[in-house]
Amino acid sequence: MDKLTDFITYYCELSTELLESVQQKFVFRTVAADTILLKKGQVCGELAINLHGAFRLFALDESGKDTTTWLAFEDTLVIEPASFLTRQPSRYYIQALEKSEMAIIKHEDLQQLYTAIPGFQAFGRKLMEEVLVGIMCRATSLLLDTPQQRYDRLLESPMYMQRVPLKYLASFIGITPTSLSRLRGRKRL
């Protein structure tokens, strides 16, 4: 509960009583590595806070090509934002990369809390602002940065190299696994 408390209070200020009301709407879940939490065609009905673990958001094209579009580590959201916000079927999958622990709130419960506790609306607004900025930075990087620059940015956070399989990292930075091997080889020289 402490990590959930810290997460919520980072984004909004609530009295102890209101914070307890919010926390009561969350359930805690542990999932095994490789668990698929959301499949293409499903509506993302839950907002999950990653308390411990690693997740990826990915898409499969018609040929079955797997493209990792987002990686989530501790103290971040595990969500497919377009589906969650619009209530439309997702085009993506969410997968746990390792045994992970989450605090989860249903979309309906979150909406009820926004209505019942106006100060809690800051939580959702600030979270979605953070998600939007992250998405924009990622899109800009894929459009303007070289694969080498994207790889170098991954190296700044060792958790990527330590916790994400190389085939997913290659996809995440928009290159083939063979190209990633070349980039890694150049760094060793």
The DSSP annotation for 77-130 comes to EE--HHHHHH-PPPS-EEEESSSEEEEEEEHHHHHHHHHH-GGGHHHHHHHHHH
Question: For 7-27, what is each residue's pLDDT tens digit?
Answer: 999 999 999 999 999 999 999
Confidence bin at 1 (pLDDT 50/70/90) = low
Residue 184 belongs to a domain: no
Q: Would you tell me the crossing angle of helices 121-144 and 147-155 to the nearest 10 degrees?
A: 130
Give per-residue pLDDT as tens, 84-137: 999 999 999 999 999 999 999 999 999 999 999 999 999 999 999 999 999 999
What distance lies between CA 32 and its chain's CA centroid? 17
Q: Which CATH number does the domain housing residue 43 bear? A: 2.60.120.10
**Number of domains into which the chain is organized:** 1
**Domain boundaries, position 103:** 2-177
What is the number of H-type helices and E-type strands within the chain?
Answer: 9, 8
Domain-embedded: residue 186: no
Average pLDDT, the chain: 94
Residue 26 belongs to a domain: yes
Q: Which are the contacts of 71, defined by CB distance < 8 A and separation ≥ 6?
A: 54, 55, 56, 57, 160, 164, 168, 172
Does a structural domain hold residue 60? Answer: yes
Torsion of CA 33, 65, 165, 79, to 10 degrees: -50
Q: Chain centroid to CA 139: how far?
A: 15
144 has a pLDDT exceeding 80 = yes
- Tell me, yes or no, whether 19 lies in a domain: yes
Specify if 46 maps to a domain.
yes
**What's the pLDDT tens digit per position in 38-89?**
999 999 999 999 999 999 999 999 998 999 999 999 999 999 999 999 999 9
Residue 27 lies in a domain: yes
The Cα angle at residue 169 between residues 140 and 92, in degrees rounded to 5: 70
Select from 49, 59, 55 the least CA-distant residue to 34: 55
Please report whether residue 22 resides in a domain.
yes
- Our CA angle for 165, 151, 81, nearest 5°, is 70
